[in-house]
């Protein structure tokens, strides 16, 4: 089903219909797109699972059941994905747009009155278990989503039963989308388990993304309370918490709106303080006042007189110089010393200070600082005529600039991405706004939609690539940890041991691979791993010098099973049968000589140097303080990592953007923390496209922070950061003057 397709729904005459706020539309599309990816993986996993189960079946009927289930899921995959999307779209529509709850079809009511089949009970129990587990593990994220839905829809009270993102809504949609599948209950439970592992397990990421998108749109950026609600609470029992903020239309922009910032500036005026960042005090002039309407007209004319190519060449269009030019032209036309209204002057100062912040924001690459700064005149005009600009985070112009800044966080100036579709779209959007001197909030809202459409596609691709990067890095880390474990086990057994050279070669070169394969596939606590490792001990013992009859008898009993185990193990790593036989044959020959009492023909040696080297686990040699030279001691002091920086690193969450600076070249790299690998105590970083760009040990990241060669990027919305900094600066000026 297409993204824009509207499902038709039967409505009762008493049902009130409301329009869905744009942020919720964005959340809906984000969730539906993400779930489509997860659901496609569910179908793929089911295909593999049914195939594996058919191979392990104990009877022909059981095998046929799984084969038929596999074919059914494979044949209906596309229709299931389409139907599931339709069901979820309908859930959003019915639960958020209509005051009356969705009506249960009459057929379902009648079915419910009849005796419920055992299969239905089993399905419902499985789904109910998923819902309970998901609600418990996502309690806070769901609470934040409910608060933000309440804020977006006046009079609406989100609860478990009318929240389209509640796990129950998702599970029911999946159940309904797969209801027509011709599956035995055993196969259907397998299907639900795959849904649990892929979709339900992925809900934390989905809820986080939904909350972040709403925050970006200015919907309750902070929710102080983390009230834990009962999972079974009904909508009527969930009163809006006192900490939740008013409806989104009245949501304050930050702690500092126009009134608060204007008050701070007025305090400075009373103290006769004129910050260098302010424009001249045109409001203090005694000449005729330039009305806001006239000022807007002159700003629009100035904007129209400057081509976009000129702006590209100049990189920025400075508000202060533009206003100076306008006021000078007014003085030439009529009487001198034209004045400005004090409120207009305050707005101009605030907008100018905002763009000062943009041009010095370390979170933004230089290229994006320049991009945003090209909007100075359009934003100034909008701020002058639209009071909501300062007082709500949901103003379209603010959403657009926040989105541009967010997308720019991962861009490096060394690779500006001229072929990047998102960067190209941003360029086109800024030019379209500049080329329209009458641009209002409606145009900015349209540009928001255009940017979101392009960015969401790139984000979806980046998420898939990042997921593969995480899985690859995790697999490599697990493999490396397994290699170290196996090397230590072999080293412990072979150290100071003299063996026939072919036996040492076999254990280090051939059997080490068998140990690795077994460890990775079966795990450290498996019987297979224990048996594979025990073979090392048995083989070493079998080629030892045993003169007593009891030991020789034991060796005679051991050798047939040992030879079979060696051949069985080699099948995992050596595909060629002749090669396997050649390896095992060498060991058989040594055992044959020992069994015949011809031990003098077998040469015993310590492990050869190259074998010892192959078993070495990489460790950094640590000198004691007494063993270090003065230079080494000084270096050790510099490299000593403080607890504060270790704490900062441990607090880093996946998704955090950082900047690393190469001390040799001075080049900076912007990357996002994608995964923390416990096996190797290292961090994996990716670029904005999801590709792995860096892997660093935890202690190395802390060291980079300590040396100021790494910084954590402040990824809060640009306007929130800017106005907080502006307010802080104004307060500091006033305090300095009165102290």
pLDDT of residue 316: 53
pLDDT tens-digit profile of 313-362?
A: 765 568 888 888 888 888 776 566 888 998 899 999 999 999 999 999 99
Determine the 3-state secondary structure of 683 from DSSP: strand
Residues 22-65 have pLDDT tens digits of 888 888 888 888 898 899 999 888 988 888 888 787 777 788 88
pLDDT number for residue 414: 62
DSSP-based three-state secondary structure for 669: strand
pLDDT of residue 223: 72
Sequence-ordered list of residues with C-beta below 8 angstroms from that of 492, at least 6 positions apart, any chain: none
Its sign, for the CA torsion 152, 154, 159, 165, is: negative
Is the pLDDT at 232 greater than 50? The verdict is no
Nearest Cα neighbor of 618 from 511, 513, 480 is 480
Tens-place pLDDT, residues 464-502: 999 998 888 888 888 888 998 999 899 888 888 888 989
Please, which residues bridge with residue 604 across strands?
500
Q: How far apart are CA 287 and CA 336, in angstroms?
A: 7
Q: Report, as an integer, the average pLDDT of 515-536.
A: 91
Confidence of residue 18 (pLDDT cuts 50, 70, 90): low
Q: Which has the closest alpha carbon to 642: 696, 697, 705? A: 705
Strand (E) or helix (H) holding 695: strand 692-697
Examine the pLDDT at 637 and tell me if it is beyond 60: no
pLDDT value at position 632? 62
**46 within 8 A of 191, measured Cβ to Cβ:** yes
Lowest mean pLDDT among 228-242, 438-452, 625-639: 228-242
% of the chain surpassing 70 pLDDT? 83
Which has more confidence, 16 or 156? 156
Return d(Cα 225, Cα 231) in angstroms, integer: 17
Model confidence band, residue 687 (pLDDT cutoffs 50, 70, 90): very high
Distances in Å between the alpha carbon of 330 and those of 167, 348, 369, 401?
63, 17, 31, 32
Out of 103-117, 258-272, 301-315, 657-671, which region has the weakest mean confidence (pLDDT)? Answer: 103-117
pLDDT tens readout for residues 368-407 = 999 999 999 999 999 999 878 888 888 999 999 999 999 9
| C-alpha–C-alpha distance, residues 675 and 682, integer Å | 9
CB atoms within 10 A of CB 232: 10
Question: What does each C-alpha distance from 279 to 173, 282, 349, 695, 724 come to in angstroms?
Answer: 58, 8, 6, 48, 20
Domain boundaries in the chain?
22-230+243-250, 258-439, 496-606, 630-720
- Closest residue by Cα to residue 323 from 305, 296, 356: 296
Who has greater pLDDT, 113 or 571? 571
The share of the chain scoring above pLDDT 90, in percent, equals 27
Sign of torsion over alpha carbons 167, 70, 183, 32: positive
Taking the C-alpha atoms of residue 452 and residue 174, their distance in angstroms, rounded to an integer, is 27
Q: Report how far residue 1's alpha carbon sits from residue 8's, in angstroms, rounded to the nearest whole number.
A: 13
Extract the tokens encoding 654: 């996946």
What does the pLDDT average to over 161-167? Answer: 87
Residues whose CB is less than 8 angstroms from the CB of residue 447 and which lie 6 or more positions away in sequence, other chains included: 396, 400, 429, 432, 433
Q: Which pLDDT does position 226 carry in this prediction?
A: 43
| Per-residue model confidence (pLDDT) at position 265 | 82
Tell me: pLDDT of 673 over 60: yes
- What burial letters (b/e) apply to 526-548, b meaning 16+ CB within 10 Å? eeebeebbebbebbbebbeebee
8 A C-beta contact, residue 97 and residue 17: yes
∠ CA 392-397-398, rounded to 5°: 50
Residue with tokens 């074998």: 611
Q: Stretch 110-133: mean pLDDT, rounded?
A: 63
Q: What CA–CA distance (Å, rounded) separates 97 from 90?
A: 10
pLDDT of residue 518: 92
pLDDT at 654: 92
CB atoms within 10 A of CB 668: 16
In the prediction, which pLDDT does 384 show? Answer: 93
pLDDT tens digits, one per residue of 408-431: 998 887 655 456 888 999 999 999
Region 630-720: CATH code: 2.30.30.140
Model pTM greater than 0.75? no
The pLDDT score that the predictor gives to residue 739 is 66
H helices of 359-395, in order, are: 366-373, 376-385, 388-391
- Measured CA to CA, the distance from residue 256 to residue 664 in angstroms comes to 42
Say whether pLDDT at 456 is over 80: yes
Give the Å distances, CA to CA, from 240 to 211, 248, 356, 721: 18, 14, 39, 28
Confidence of residue 115 (pLDDT cuts 50, 70, 90): very low
Torsions phi, psi for 670 (to 5 deg)? -100, 125
Per-residue pLDDT tens digits for 103-114: 333 333 333 333
Q: What pLDDT, on the 0 to 100 scale, is given for residue 733?
A: 84
Q: Quick one: CA dihedral 470, 167, 27, 213, positive or negative?
A: negative
Contacts of 291 (CB under 8 A, 6+ apart): 341
* Strands laid side by side in the 668-677 sheet: 692-697, 682-686, 668-677, 657-661, 710-712
Average pLDDT over residues 596-619: 77
Residues 6 or more apart whose Cβ sits within 8 Å of residue 631:
none
- Average pLDDT of the residues in 695-719: 91
Interhelix angle 718-738/396-408, nearest 10 degrees: 100
Eight-state DSSP code of residue 199: T
What was the pLDDT predicted at 711? Answer: 93
Task: Note the pLDDT tens digit of each residue in 61-103.
Answer: 788 888 888 888 888 988 999 899 898 888 887 777 654 444 3
**What values do phi and psi take at 499, rounded to 5?**
-135, 160
Mean pLDDT across the chain, nearest whole number?
81
């Amino acid at each position: 089903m297409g993204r824009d397709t509207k499902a038709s729904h039967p409505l009762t005459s008493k049902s009130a219909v409301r329009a869905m706020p744009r942020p919720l539309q964005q959340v809906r599309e984000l969730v539906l797109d993400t779930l489509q990816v997860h659901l496609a993986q569910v179908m793929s996993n089911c295909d593999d699972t049914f195939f594996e189960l058919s191979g392990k079946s104990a009877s022909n009927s059981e095998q046929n059941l799984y084969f038929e289930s596999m074919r059914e899921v494979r044949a209906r995959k596309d229709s299931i994905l389409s139907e599931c999307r339709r069901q979820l779209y309908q859930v959003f529509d019915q639960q958020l747009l209509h005051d009356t709850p969705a009506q249960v079809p009459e057929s379902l009511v009648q079915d419910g009155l009849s005796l419920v089949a055992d299969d239905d009970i089993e399905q419902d129990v499985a789904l109910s278990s998923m819902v309970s587990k998901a609600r418990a593990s996502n309690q806070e994220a769901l609470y934040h989503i409910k608060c933000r839905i309440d804020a977006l829809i006046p009079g609406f009270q989100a609860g478990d039963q009318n929240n389209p993102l509640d796990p129950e809504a998702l599970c029911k949609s999946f159940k309904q989308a797969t209801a027509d599948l011709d599956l035995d209950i055993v196969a259907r439970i397998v299907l639900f388990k795959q849904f649990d592992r892929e979709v339900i397990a992925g809900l934390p990421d989905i809820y986080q993304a939904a909350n972040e998108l709403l925050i970006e749109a200015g919907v309750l950026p902070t929710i102080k309370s983390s009230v834990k609600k009962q999972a079974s609470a009904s909508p009527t029992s969930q009163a809006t918490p006192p900490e939740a903020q008013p409806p989104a239309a009245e949501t304050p922009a930050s702690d500092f709106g126009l009134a608060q910032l204007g008050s701070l500036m007025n305090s400075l005026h009373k103290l006769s303080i004129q910050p260098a960042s302010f424009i001249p005090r045109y409001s203090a002039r005694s000449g005729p006042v330039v009305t806001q309407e006239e000022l807007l007209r002159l700003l629009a004319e100035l904007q129209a007189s400057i081509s976009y190519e000129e702006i590209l060449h100049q990189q920025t269009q400075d508000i202060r110089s533009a206003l100076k030019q306008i006021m000078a032209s007014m003085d030439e036309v009529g009487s001198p010393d034209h004045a400005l209204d004090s409120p207009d002057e305050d707005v101009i100062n605030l907008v100018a200070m905002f763009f000062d912040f943009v041009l010095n924001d370390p979170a933004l690459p230089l290229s994006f600082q320049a991009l945003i700064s090209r909007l100075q005149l359009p934003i100034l005009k909008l701020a002058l005529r639209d009071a909501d600009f300062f007082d709500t985070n949901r103003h379209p112009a603010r959403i657009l600039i926040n989105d541009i800044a967010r997308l720019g966080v991962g861009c490096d100036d060394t690779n500006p991405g001229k072929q990047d579709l998102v960067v190209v779209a941003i360029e086109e959007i800024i030019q379209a706004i500049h080329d329209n001197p009458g641009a209002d909030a409606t145009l900015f809202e349209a540009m928001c939609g255009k940017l979101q459409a392009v960015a969401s596609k790139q984000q979806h691709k980046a998420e898939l690539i990042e997921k593969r990067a995480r899985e690859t890095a995790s697999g490599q880390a697990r493999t490396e940890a397994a290699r170290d474990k196996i090397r230590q086990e072999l080293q412990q057994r072979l150290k100071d041991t003299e063996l026939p050279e072919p036996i040492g070669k076999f254990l280090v070169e051939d059997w080490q691979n068998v140990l690795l394969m077994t460890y990775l596939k079966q795990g450290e606590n498996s019987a297979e791993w224990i048996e594979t490792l025990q073979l090392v001990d048995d083989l070493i013992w079998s080629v030892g010098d045993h003169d007593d009859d009891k030991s020789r008898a034991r060796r005679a009993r051991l050798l047939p099973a040992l030879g079979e185990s060696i051949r069985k193990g080699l099948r995992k790593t050596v595909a060629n049968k002749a090669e396997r036989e050649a390896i095992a044959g060498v060991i058989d020959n040594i055992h044959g000589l020992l069994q015949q009492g011809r031990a003098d023909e077998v040469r015993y040696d310590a492990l050869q140097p190259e074998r010892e080297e192959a078993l070495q686990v990489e460790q950094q040699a640590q000198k004691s303080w007494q063993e270090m030279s003065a230079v080494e001691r000084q270096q050790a002091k510099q490299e000593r990592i403080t607890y504060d920086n270790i704490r900062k690193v441990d607090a880093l969450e996946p998704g955090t953007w950082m900047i690393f600076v190469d001390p040799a070249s001075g080049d900076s790299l912007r990357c996002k923390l994608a995964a923390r690998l416990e096996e190797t105590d290292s961090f994996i970083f990716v670029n904005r496209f999801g590709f792995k760009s860096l892997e660093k040990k935890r202690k190395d990241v802390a060291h980079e922070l300590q040396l100021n060669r790494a910084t954590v990027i402040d990824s809060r919305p640009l306007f929130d950061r800017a106005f907080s900094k502006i307010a802080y600066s104004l307060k500091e000026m006033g305090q300095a003057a009165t102290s």
